[in-house]
Amino acid sequence: MTNALKRLCRSRELKLGHFLIEFATPGIGHILKGAGCDFVFIDMEHSGFSFETVKSAVRYCEAAQLPAIVRVPSKSYHHIARAADIGAEAVMVPMVDTDAEARELVSHLKYTPLGARGVALGIAHDNFRGAGPVHERLAAANERTCLFALIETASGVEHVDAIAAVEGVDGLWIGHFDLSSSLGIPGEFTHPKFVDAVERIGAAAHRHGKALGRLVPDAASGIDHAARGFDFVCWSGDVWALQEAVRGGLDAIRAGARPAAGRAKQARA
């Protein structure tokens, strides 16, 4: 098993990825790696993916040497620890509101002495290896795993500096739709309240040397966020990228076929 995601978290260079919410197919890791992705974001919160599905998807990405971030569906211990057990290098947790909560999440993810995660060795997360001193294997697992705190509530913004300061939090991720809703301005991403919240989150990440990421819908938004110091930029998602590509092709054929059909009709007249 590698520590590729940990190395990405420690670098402030731009990393580009893609969001998976529907297509956890055997070739997906190699497809995205071939497209130039530096990481993949696998979602469990809104996708309906089971742990069995995500376990397979993580292995597909490992085969392509593509680091995976897995967003779990809740802040509960069994979701976080299980995601780590199935091999997720990074776990993203939704709705992180306070630094006390962030410390608890770190404890769910890390083995002793850094946390209280239940010990399971010789399984997926350590590539089924069964040898070596236990303390070394626990330390290796602790070094490998990363935690992204999803800042998407007004409380999260209020406590973001303290959250970013927590040891074991490797990155902050902005959940833009939920954050705008929590601020009372759903979908208003140019509203001063939203802009100020994003600036506060970014400042906290930079102050404490933590990674900073978000999902962007298009290239222009990605360029803008990279210029503002976001180092993890996740462009679009599998569903929307496929729809956009298919729609573009079909619309182009329809637009070109109408004049061609008209000319053919005139020629027959």
Active-site annotation, residues? 46
CA angle 236, 152, 169 (to 5 degrees): 95
Provide the 3-class DSSP secondary structure of residue 116. Answer: coil
Q: Contact 121/161 with Cβ under 8 angstroms?
A: no
Phi-psi region of 131 (alpha: psi -120 to 50; beta: other; left: phi over 0): beta
Distance CA 9, CA 2 (A): 13
Q: Contact 124/85 with Cβ under 8 angstroms?
A: yes
What residues contact residue 128 under an 8 Å CB cut-off, 6+ apart?
A: 122
Give 124's DSSP letter: G
Q: Contact 89/144 with Cβ under 8 angstroms?
A: yes
CA angle 131, 117, 7 (to 5 degrees): 70
State the DSSP string of 32-100. Answer: HHHTT-SEEEEE-TTT---HHHHHHHHHHHHHTT--EEEE-SSS-HHHHHHHHHTT-SEEEES----HH
State whether the Cα torsion 111-115-119-124 is positive or negative: negative
End-to-end Cα, the chain, rounded Å: 70
